[in-house]
Structure 1
Amino acid sequence: MGLPRVAIVGRPNVGKSALFNRLTGTKRAIVYDQPGITRDRMYVRAFWGDSEFMMVDTGGLESLPGNPGAAPSVDAVGGFEILPGMIESQAALAVREAASLVMVVDGQTGLTTADVDIYRWIRKNHADKPLVLAVNKCESTTRGEEQVLDFWSLGGVTPLAVSAISGTGTGDMMDQLCATLPAVNADDEKESGEEVAEPLKVAIVGRPNVGKSSLLNQLSGDARAIVSDHSGTTRDTIDSDVTDADGNKFTLIDTAGIRRRTAVAAGKDKPEELSVGRALQAMRRAEVVVLVIDAEEGPSQQDFVLAERAALTEGCALVLCVNKWDVIDKNSYSMNEYTKSLRSKLRVFEWASVVYVSALTGQRVQKVLAAAVEASTHHRKRLSTATLNAVVQEATLWKSPPSRGGRKGKVYYVTQASTRPPTFVFFCNDPKLFVETYRRYMERSLRENIGFPGTPVRILWRGKGVSGRK
């Protein structure tokens, strides 16, 4: 059994995500004064005193389409093609799997019909689950206690005045919540004396509508993220813990589609700017980035920019995932031909792993995890100084270092400074003598003789009192 889950539920725009961030001590959930920003379930580990649990943020609950006044049903998952029903289905799933619930209401607005409907639905369908009623937006020191009075009429639960902005009342609320949680056996998390390996963090990134959320759902075996033909469906970054057939553990991070910076700025959609910011932060958290490319459209300039950000800026290992391979005319393209074309367009990243999948049918999706494991292995690879110097010495024999102004470049020795990504320091007489073409030659020599598929390689050039970097 894992950590107990606590689902935060309520109608739209009552401050669920703001309270989620406050209680988890993070800024993971996007907070914006607009209904419908939160769509998928978001899970973050939280602590209070000696209690540890998984906090789950959800989208706002409203009446389902075509059934006014009805409460959401988990049987509706996948049954609606429009976004509101999908959001509510995700929230309903979170409620079903939770050990305890936090229902958030708006103290400034007061009790609404929607609040009453949601409360009755919870009591009717999940009467066995402990419920904490958080009356949010009670920042006022004079009116805070008055704002909760309306909510006593719900009956059977004590309304608690809280403020997600100031933190007022959240301590008492957490005390009450933790008293309802089941005890966690330490053996459930790890066996005595045994260290638990950290999951491999893998960020799934790409342009909008390339199939990132569909890929996450296939890999997790669950309707973990909303899938829609509408561009911009995913807003928050969604973490999912997955274990493959070989026992390897992953934290898969689904992200919002990233359009060109100029397009985002021109759109003036503030939530999209926040979503893109979260997606870029996900790369920073990850060790491996899976860049999803639409097989029909092929790699674009934006794909190149994202690969550059992942590998060169953040230093992540890189897997190129060509999705929608099932719709490609195989008479026109084979995998080998497509790979050649792909690498020619993304030639700077010719070392990246390439996998071909169909997130719609599930075809070959497990190869994504296998490629991520292999890329991570090389990303963490460490070599002895003797091995490195043997490779470099042979490379200099095949192609001598360049000369300039009567001075010839000399490489004294090479050592590995760090991993993730593998970083090597070339000690030489003068870094300025080693032109870019020769530096690229040295990187090719390392890759051809040692490997490093799927990971960037950084090389630093240092001389006597002078340093340079590639």
Structure 2
Amino acid sequence: MTEFSPGPSGRLPVLALVGRPNVGKSALFNRLTGKRKAIVDNTPGVTRDRNYGAAEWEERKFILIDTGGFDSEAESGLERKIQEQSRLAMEEADVILFVFDGKAGLNPLDRDAVLLLRRVNKPVFYAVNKIDTPPKEDRLYEFYTLGVNEIFPVSAEHGLGITALMDRIVAAFPSAAEKVPGEEEVRPRPLFLAVVGRPNVGKSTLVNRLLGYERSVVDSVPGTTRDALDTPFTLGGEPYVLVDTAGIRRKARIVDRLERYSVIRSLGSVERGDLVIHLLDGPEGVTDQDAQILAYALQRGKGLILAVNKWDLVPPERRSPESYGERVFHKLAFVDFAPLVFLSMLTGEGVEDLLKAVQGVALSYQRRIRTAPLNQALREVVQAHGPPLYQGREVKFFYATQTAVCPPTLMVFVSVPEGVSSGYQRYLIHQLRLALGLTGSPIRLILRARRDVRRRRKK
């Protein structure tokens, strides 16, 4: 089995935010991480998963986990899963911060939570949120009836009380979690891997199967995973960060502001990713939405892997990988360089093939090509099919050099750059990719006139 495991957190301490739904955990998460990462809304239970973020306080770096709402009386299946997410977050954490709602007041569920946290053998801090004026501090008294020694009044929205709270929390972090000097300099930057697809295509189930535990809440309701969640892992000994995105919906089905914001976050996760696994629905096939997202990923220069999920649900007469692949690339001809794998999340079929495809695309995406074989490939491609004349003149290709990776970027010097049509550029990219073995990776082509080099030499 290919090595695929959650990676270490860089020996950074972990702080988990726990509390009932809608007490302001996500607002506090956003304030501490400095970005609008967790979705904030006044709908109870908006943050459904453990959401990881990097934070820093007084030069002390740590990992922050925002959880779904804590509810000891969860009734529905989704609520029970959210409850389990909170428990898992508490297990991962070095320090726990329980957040009360100062506006709503003390709730019986708060009492249940405090009783539970007393059995946790970790530092636990308590904060009452939404205390944004001195008179509102009177609301703290009822929370002291819980038998808690110290309670911090804060306003996540306005930043009040955060300093006193975080100073105490950082002091409680384990000293063994200090970063090793020089560690950051010697560790290679991990590739970011984004998993995208329309709602209910099986994206979060894939993420959970890959990571080996239920990291994202999975439910039969489309769009259950609403936020993008980052998790470090290793694959074949190389570091990656998995970006699990909210499902991308057809525009006509985006009916509320929360879903609109989730779609924006999904595209943002594609933007942050280096490699993109795009999940297709096996029985439904390729949709216009799939094509649009893949076109966006290609335009942004992302390495691509196509995965057909629910392969076991495809009717037998359509379950030929060869003919199905032909239908896929008939609609997605512009990404015909991407590997195509077939998955069943129920059985785990195809997961090993997917991991191998990710490794192959990662190698292509980061590959540096020596100048000699690059120019040999360019000569053969041009000799096989030369460019058409431009304004009666021959377009000559002189040489090429690689200027960047992620994706591979080639600068090609020609006699007349404007004489190389977009169609011929596509031909060059396609043939060079085949000749150089750059599976799944886009190639960026920069055309320069040879006289540009002469000018630079004269300066």
Specify the alignment match of 2:273 in structure 1.
Answer: 286
1:249 Cα deviation (Å)? 2.9
Corresponding residue to 2:418 among 423, 432, 442: 432
- Counting only pairs closer than 5 Å after superposition, residues 146-185 of structure 1 correspond to structure 2 as 146-185=138-177
For residues 436 and 194 of structure 1, the distance between their equivalents in structure 2, rounded to whole angstroms, comes to 41
For residues 92 and 41 of structure 2, the distance between their equivalents in structure 1, rounded to whole angstroms, comes to 27
The percentage of aligned residue pairs carrying the same residue is 39
Specify the alignment match of 1:409 in structure 2.
Answer: 395
For residues 431 and 222 of structure 2, the distance between their equivalents in structure 1, rounded to whole angstroms, comes to 43
Corresponding residue to 1:7 among 16, 21, 31: 16
Specify the alignment match of 2:325 in structure 1.
Answer: 339
For residues 216 and 415 of structure 2, the distance between their equivalents in structure 1, rounded to whole angstroms, comes to 55
TM-score by length of 2: 0.90
Specify the alignment match of 1:240 in structure 2.
Answer: 231
SS at match of 2:166: helix
Offset from partner CA, 1:241-260 (integer Å, 9 cap, x none):
2234x323322111111012
Specify the alignment match of 1:199 in structure 2.
Answer: 190
1:262 Cα deviation (Å)? 4.1
For residues 287 and 322 of structure 1, the distance between their equivalents in structure 2, rounded to whole angstroms, comes to 20
1:202 Cα deviation (Å)? 0.6
SS at match of 1:442: helix
Matched to 1:94, the amino acid is: A
Segment of structure 1 superposing worse, 147-156 or 450-459: 147-156
Matched to 1:390, the amino acid is: Q
Offset from partner CA, 1:156-198 (integer Å, 9 cap, x none):
33111111122111111011112222222558x6997992333
- Counting only pairs closer than 5 Å after superposition, residues 107-118 of structure 1 correspond to structure 2 as 107-118=102-113
1:377 and 2:369 are equivalent in the alignment: no
Check the 8 A contact 1:40/1:225 in 2, yes or no. Answer: yes
For residues 49 and 336 of structure 1, the distance between their equivalents in structure 2, rounded to whole angstroms, comes to 57
Consecutive unaligned residues in structure 1, runs of 5 or more: 67-79
For residues 184 and 242 of structure 2, the distance between their equivalents in structure 1, rounded to whole angstroms, comes to 27
Offset from partner CA, 1:397-451 (integer Å, 9 cap, x none):
2223211432222223322222111122222232332223222221222122112
Offset from partner CA, 1:265-324 (integer Å, 9 cap, x none):
xx1x11111211211111122110000111111111111111111121x21100001111
Check the 8 A contact 2:13/2:177 in 1, yes or no. Answer: no
Offset from partner CA, 1:375-402 (integer Å, 9 cap, x none):
1111112223333322222222222321
- Are residues 135 and 327 of structure 1, via their aligned partners in 2, closer, same or farther at CA, if it must alter by over 3 Å? same
Check the 8 A contact 2:12/2:178 in 1, yes or no. Answer: no
For residues 100 and 137 of structure 1, the distance between their equivalents in structure 2, rounded to whole angstroms, comes to 22
- Length, aligned pairs only: 443
Specify the alignment match of 1:348 in structure 2.
Answer: 334
Corresponding residue to 2:129 among 127, 136, 156: 136
Larger RCO of the pair (alpha carbons < 8 Å, separation 6+)? 2
1:60 Cα deviation (Å)? 1.1
For residues 273 and 158 of structure 1, the distance between their equivalents in structure 2, rounded to whole angstroms, comes to 40
SS at match of 2:344: coil
Corresponding residue to 1:255 among 220, 241, 245: 245
For residues 271 and 192 of structure 1, the distance between their equivalents in structure 2, rounded to whole angstroms, comes to 39
Check the 8 A contact 2:12/2:177 in 1, yes or no. Answer: no
TM-score by length of 1: 0.88
For residues 340 and 275 of structure 1, the distance between their equivalents in structure 2, rounded to whole angstroms, comes to 32
Segment of structure 1 superposing worse, 251-260 or 359-368: 359-368
Specify the alignment match of 2:79 in structure 1.
Answer: 84
Offset from partner CA, 1:341-364 (integer Å, 9 cap, x none):
222221100000111121222223
SS at match of 1:143: helix
Matched to 1:138, the amino acid is: I
Offset from partner CA, 1:78-121 (integer Å, 9 cap, x none):
xx6x3222111211221233222111112223223332232223
SS at match of 1:209: coil
For residues 345 and 444 of structure 1, the distance between their equivalents in structure 2, rounded to whole angstroms, comes to 17
Matched to 2:165, the amino acid is: M
1:447 and 2:440 are equivalent in the alignment: no
Specify the alignment match of 1:94 in structure 2.
Answer: 89
Check the 8 A contact 1:201/1:286 in 2, yes or no. Answer: yes
Segment of structure 1 superposing worse, 351-360 or 399-408: 399-408
- Are residues 380 and 145 of structure 1, via their aligned partners in 2, closer, same or farther at CA, if it must alter by over 3 Å? same
SS at match of 2:64: strand
1:122 Cα deviation (Å)? 2.2
